Amino acid sequence: MAERPEDLNLPNAVITRIIKEALPDGVNISKEARSAISRAASVFVLYATSCANNFAMKGKRKTLNAGDVLSAMEEMEFQRFIAPLKESLEVYRREQKGKKEARKDKDRKADSEEQDKSREDDNDDDDERMEEEEQNDEEEVDN
Amino acid sequence: MAARLSGGENRLVSLPLSRIRVIMKSSPEVSSINQDALFLTAKATELFVQYLASYSYKHGRGKEKNALTYSDLAHTAEECETFQFLADILPKKILASKYLKMLEKEKRDGELGECDEEDDDEEDNDEAVDEAVGS
């Protein structure tokens, strides 16, 4: 878990990229502003977690779920995030489901009826794995 | 949608989920987080960073036109209700001379009240008690 205080920081390169995407081209972001936004983002995570946890506790649940996070956004007055978040979640769930099914189909290779389908899914799976490797590379650079 | 899934640039979420999980778990009352909640928090944090940056850029009173500075962010934390929770970690910077003046003013304003409460002299304390009983 968080053993050192820096474990609570978010990668600067990623934060900077996200800020740049939000601002018009050519806007200079001071170093102090970057680290301030990065700190603010960590505090946002903690604030959102604590709000979401209150909703989970009210519902007598121990595990935070998607609904708790969305309720937290509303309580924190970030309602504007809810629609885009729901959209991304749908895409994310579909993506996860796809990965799971690809894995399942792989196990069922012996089944001749499934064989054609599983060959397709194997390809998908490989693509995804390559993508994950790319992601890892990126994160290493960021740190 | 296919375009969003492929290629590093258009990934669903660019902040590392593992790091977001560590931050979430650092809150002692949280026991477990499901995958959807983790993803949503990471995505929300990204939206938050964009919103904070663009809001501060638009509403900042920065002297430099084409720049986002610390004072723009501190201004946002102070002025905008939604970002008020950041006020403690994004304090406004002030000059030392201004701060000294503030301290002086505080001292002057607080002088009347302080006399009765914080006097070390025993006699004065007795007097204060007498006054309180009398009134």
Same-domain pairing of A72 and A22: yes
Torsion of CA A54, A60, A61, A67, to 10 degrees: -60
DSSP-derived 3-state class of residue B7:
coil
Q: How far apart are CA A95 and CA B62, in angstroms?
A: 43
Same-domain pairing of A24 and A72: yes
Residue length of chain B: 135
Domain of A24 in residue numbering reads as 1-76
Same-domain pairing of A61 and A103: no
What tens digit of pLDDT does each residue of B2-37 get? Answer: 334 434 445 799 999 999 999 999 999 999 999 999
Residues in chain B with CB shorter than 8 Å from the CB of A135 are 8, 11
Per-residue pLDDT, A124: 47
Assigned token pair, A4: 């050192």
Same-domain pairing of A56 and A26: yes
Quickly state the pLDDT bin for B70 (edges 50, 70, 90): very high
- Tell which wins on pLDDT, A89 or B64: A89
Residue B1: DSSP 8-state: -
**Cβ atoms of residues B76 and B92 within 8 Å:** no
Phi, psi of B9 (to 5 degrees): -65, -40
Residue from the list A27, A57, A95 with its beta carbon closest to the beta carbon of B57: A27
Kindly determine whether residue A37 and residue B81, on different chains, have CB atoms separated by under 8 Å. no
Chain B contact for A123 (CB, 8 A cutoff): no
Write down the pTM of the prediction. Answer: 0.72
Residues in chain A with CB shorter than 8 Å from the CB of B32 are 62-64
Per-residue pLDDT, B52: 98
Per-residue pLDDT, A5: 78
What tens digit of pLDDT does each residue of A5-16 get? Answer: 788 999 999 999
In B9-94, which ranges are E strands? Answer: 32-33, 67-68
Number of domains in chain A: 2
Residues in chain A with CB shorter than 8 Å from the CB of B58 are none
Q: Which domains does chain B show, CATH number per domain?
A: 17-108 (1.10.20.10)
Q: Which residues contact A121 (CB under 8 A, 6 or more apart)?
A: A101, A102, A105, A106
Mean pLDDT estimate for chain A: 82
**Cβ atoms of residues A69 and A50 within 8 Å:** no
Candidates A9, A31, A58, A69: best to mutate against B (most CBs of B within 10 A) is A69
Q: To the nearest whole angstrom, how far is the Cα of A30 from the nearest Cα of chain B? A: 5
Residue length of chain A: 143
Quickly state the pLDDT bin for B109 (edges 50, 70, 90): confident
Same-domain pairing of A2 and A66: yes
Same-domain pairing of A88 and A68: no
Q: How far apart are CA B25 and CA B63, in angstroms?
A: 40
Same-domain pairing of A1 and A69: yes
